[in-house]
Amino acid sequence: MAFRTWAKLFGATLGAAAAGGASQLGLAYGLGILRLTRVVDVTARDQWMAQLAWVAWIAMASAVIGAMVGRRALPPHAGAGTRLVAAVSAALGAAIVVPLTMEPARTAQIAGVRPVFIIGVCAALGAAVGIVAAYAAVSHAVARWNLTAVGAGVWAIAIVSVAPSMAPSEPLPATRLGVIDASFLSDSVTQRTALFTMPALALICGVAVGVAARRRAMPTLTVALSGLAGPALLTLAYLVAGPGSGDQRYQVVPYWAAMTAAGAGVLGSVLVAVLSRGPAVPADGSGPVKSRPTPDRPPLPRREAQTSSAIAQAAAVAAQRSEEQLRPSDTGVFTVPPEEGGASFNGFAPRPQPQPVNAPPVAPAPVSPPLSTSPAPQPRGRNGQGDEFVDWVSGLGHR
């Protein structure tokens, strides 16, 4: 990538993030949301921790703003390394929150706390987390939508909380991140709503972004995770600030609400991904949206239109004929002439057995083999000796 393109990308992301951080801090200072130049007693230390959550979240949101603006300067088909450079430059621009919060905190007096150091660390951690948020905003459209929706909702809640204090005689309220701290609500109602405000906001944004992603025929996994990015920043901001330790549970209640916000956002988008299984339809209702092929997802092969067979064509022609014009080959019914003698053909009657014309040949009688005529053998033994033995015995007597 050319040097001019790198310089344009770095300058756009860095400048937009710095401008976003300064503008958000100016709005927070002007509305009285952030009041860093004050004396806080030990019993009110949770209010100081609520300010830290705002500082961390503003740093994260500033990095996201820089990434969204710098995305326009990215070259076509930018790789992961280029997007990471854009995210890092956005986080560097968001680091302007660090000096803009440390300088007012020099006059703050917090019992047992070094306010300048603590607020600088929280702002720096928020800018570091902003690298991940900025990279998600550059890489995925659903992350940009959800971050924008949740960010707008957080600022809308803050403005609603401080709106009654704009009257001349009303004091400035202590506004917590993602909590309706309006003066027209009692303390008990405020504590109850603090437990449900952020999860409800995350759930609504998750459902809205999930529906938008589903209508654009995005993958199911993308739709299911479309409600994660924005609520995750609220969770991380409260993790940086801490849960607090006051007896009135001023910071503990919104802390645990923020811990469940990410899960609520994912729940909303997962419900959309599971329940919306029909084909995606565009806004004008013209028809289903066809997903465009990408290098990772090539187009599916198309089947050529098959011509009808000869049998189907013959059947179609036969269906247009009248009953008088039908032929046996069209209906498959053939007329069989009657048999001799006037009997009609019955296909279910038993068929007669065929009779043999000639008698079967008689098998020849077996012939026994001839008897043997050889003389019987002469027995051997003492009583049956031959003539030679008798003559030998007779000769012994004449000697």
Check whether residue 238 and residue 272 sit in a common domain.
yes
More confident residue, 250 or 120: 120
- Does residue 187 fall inside a structural domain? yes
In this structure, are 122 and 45 located in the same domain?
yes
Question: Do 116 and 204 fall into the same domain?
Answer: no
Of 252, 264, 259, the residue nearest 237 (C-alpha): 259
Q: Is residue 35 in some structural domain? A: yes
Under a CB-based contact definition with an 8 Å cutoff, are residues 181 and 174 in contact? Answer: yes
Rounded CA-CA distance 49/367 in Å is: 126
> Tokens 């064509």 label which residue?
313
In this structure, the answer to whether residues 59 and 132 fall within a common structural domain is yes
Bigger pLDDT: 355 vs 139: 139
Q: What is the mean pLDDT of residues 77-88?
A: 87
Read off the pLDDT of residues 268-326 as tens digits, 9 standing for 90 and up: 999 999 986 655 455 455 555 555 666 656 666 666 655 566 677 777 776 777 666 66
Whether 394 maps to a domain, the answer reads no
Side-chain-side CA neighbours of residue 266 (13 Å): 10
The residues pairing with 39 across neighbouring beta strands, listed in sequence order, are 109
Q: Which of 139, 163, 185 is the last residue of a domain?
A: 139
CB 222 within 8 A of CB 283: no
Strand 109-110, strand 39-40: pairing:
parallel
pLDDT for 92 beyond 90: yes
Q: What is the mean pLDDT of the chain?
A: 79
Whether 334 shows a pLDDT value over 50: the answer reads: yes
Closest CA to 44 of 244, 189, 186, 187: 244
pLDDT digits (tens, 9 = 90+) for 4-27: 777 888 888 999 999 999 999 999
Residues found in the chain: 399
How large is the average pLDDT for residues 341-365? 61
Q: Decide if 230 is inside a domain.
A: yes
Q: Domain for residue 121, yes or no?
A: yes
Closest among 58, 114, 66 to 88, alpha carbons compared: 66
In a domain, 392, yes or no: no
Domain that holds residue 46: 1-139
Q: Which amino acid is at 342?
A: G
Looking at the structure, do residues 99 and 160 belong to the same domain, yes or no? no
**Residue 398 confidence (pLDDT) above 70:** no
CA distance 85 to 11: 12
pLDDT digits over 167-185, tens only? 777 777 788 999 998 888 8
What pLDDT does 381 receive? 46
Q: Please list the alpha-helical segments (H only) found in 163-304.
A: 187-215, 220-224, 229-241, 252-275
Lowest mean pLDDT among 113-127, 143-157, 262-276, 332-346: 332-346
Total number of domains in the chain: 2
**pLDDT band with cut points at 50, 70 and 90 for residue 391:** low
pLDDT tens digits along 43-53: 567 788 888 99
DSSP string, 50-113: HHHHHHHHHHHHHHHHHHHHHGGGSPTT--HHHHHHHHHHHHHHHTTHHHHHHTGGGG-EETT-
Q: Same domain for 134 and 161?
A: no
**Percentage helix, strand, coil for the chain under 3-state DSSP, each rounded to 5:** 60, 0, 40
Residue 132 shares a structural domain with residue 183: no
Residue that finishes a domain, picked among 280, 309, 328: 280
Q: In this model, does residue 129 exceed pLDDT 90?
A: yes
Report pLDDT for 308. Answer: 62
Do 160 and 121 belong to one domain?
no
| Final residue in a domain of this structure, among 280, 296, 317 | 280
Q: What confidence category does residue 190 fall into, taking pLDDT thresholds of 50, 70 and 90?
A: confident
Q: Are 167 and 130 within one domain? A: no
- What pTM was estimated for this model as a whole? 0.68
Domain-embedded: residue 355: no
Q: Are residues 48 and 118 in the same domain?
A: yes
Q: Residue 132: its pLDDT value, please?
A: 95
Count CA atoms closer than 13 A to 234's CA, side-chain side. 36
Q: Are residues 21 and 121 in the same domain?
A: yes
Q: Residue 120: is its pLDDT beyond 70? A: yes
Give pLDDT, residue 351.
64
**Are 226 and 203 a contacting pair, CB within 8 Å?**
no
Question: Does the pLDDT at position 368 exceed 70?
Answer: no
pLDDT exceeds cutoff 90 at 239: yes
